[in-house]
Amino acid sequence: MGEAVRAVLLIGLAAALLTTAALTFSWWMEPARRLRRAMTKAVVGRIETEAFSPAEGRAAVLDFDAGQVVVLWDRGANGLIYGFEETEGGEIIVDGHVVARVRRGEARKALDIMAPEAEQVVLRLMFADPRNPEFELSLWNADRPAPTSSPAEALRLGRRWLSHIEALLRA
């Protein structure tokens, strides 16, 4: 009888350890955590402004200390680093329509609408790179989990990004 109890306890302990290991691995590989780790690795200085979409596996970071824009995709497995001088501009796209734009050498198209019922809010960053001239990041998507809690919050984040981009284009 003692051997049977010992075997059941050992099997239960092994199952508990395997479950704990699986849960820890799942937590560690969660898309948002993977993106955060990749952003931290890619940025030399302090992360000043960030936008990420764990559902898409994409992120963008402004690093003012190093003067660079970092864009990541494939859950942080791939990415590019652009100097501020390579940044051409940015746009906010709501349901397929450009509602705000900042572009080198052009007047700013200010965000003058609020779309509380928007289905999708996208930040598009544009670069002087013939292979990868633009990078799109979904700030709000009604069909998928988004890092922002509402279209209005996504528009505020997008407007903040455009303000930063406009300031670095003037510098």
pLDDT in tens, 2-44: 888 888 888 998 999 888 888 887 777 777 777 777 777 777 7
Instruction: Tell me the domains of the chain and their CATH numbers.
Output: 28-170 (2.30.29)
Can you give the length of the chain in residues? 171
Sequential DSSP letters for 55-77:
TTTEEEEEETTTTEEEEEEGGGT
Which tokens go with 140? 């709000």
Q: Is the dihedral of CA 38, 119, 49, 33 positive or negative?
A: negative
Kindly list the distances between the CA atom of residue 122 and the CA atoms of 5, 79, 157, 168, in Å, as whole numbers in the listed order: 59, 18, 10, 20
- CA 16 to the chain's CA centroid: 34
For 11, the 3-state DSSP assignment is helix
pLDDT in tens, 101-131: 999 988 888 777 777 778 899 999 999 999 9
For residue 91, which of 117, 143, 126, 56 has the smallest C-alpha distance? Answer: 126
Determine what percent of the chain is predicted with pLDDT higher than 90. 30
**Spatial CB neighbours of 32, under 8 Å, sequence gap ≥ 6:** 52, 54, 147
- The rounded distance, in Å, linking the Cα atoms of 50 and 41 is 14
* Res. 87 pLDDT band, cuts 50 70 90: very high
How much is the pTM?
Answer: 0.77
